[in-house]
Amino acid sequence: MAPRFKNTDRHTPMLLPPDLRDWVAEDDLVHFVIQAVERLPLSIFAVNPKGCGDEQYPPHLMLALLIYCYANGIFSSRRIERATWRDIAVRYLTANTHPDHDTICAFRRNNREAIAAAFVAVLELAKELKLLKLGVVSLDGTHIRANASKDKNVTYQ
């Protein structure tokens, strides 16, 4: 009898749902991040006052992108840019736009203090909603001199 496999034809065109929310789980972190960032005052973020150049990404979109990616262990601006193409939740967060890694770096560089304050505010909100448990993490960096090398412990006869 021939093995039964599911049809996995990669050449069949597939349309994503018209609403990306259909592909993001209801309990996904992205929903909390979007709602938390919308509650923050965004007037403290630097924007291009000249109005020259291409249209800017809204500060709340860029901040939500950084918070969500940091929470998922993505720190490099190039990997964050790649996530806007590969990760459905990030695609939903950015409204299917794809900020360039230079844009992400410039936003991070120009808004260091505001981003730090926003991170604290989001963490405090998560603590209030009991989504986060804060505690102490300790690391031991003790260096101990050892004498357990192969030459000390093996006798050859």
Q: What's the predicted TM-score (pTM) here?
A: 0.78
Name the residue with higher pLDDT: 138 or 28. 28
> What does R_g of the chain's alpha carbons equal in angstroms?
23
CA distance 16 to 132: 33
Distance CA 52, CA 33 (A): 30
Q: Which of 62, 72, 74, 67 is nearest to 103 (CA)?
A: 62
Spatial distance between the Cα atoms of 34 and 66, rounded to a whole number of angstroms: 11
* Residue pLDDT, tens place only, 105-153: 999 999 999 999 999 999 999 999 888 877 788 888 888 777 777 776 6
Q: Work out the number of other CB atoms within 10 angstroms of the CB of residue 76.
A: 13
pLDDT for 121: 94
* Chain segment 71-84, per-residue pLDDT in tens: 999 999 999 999 99
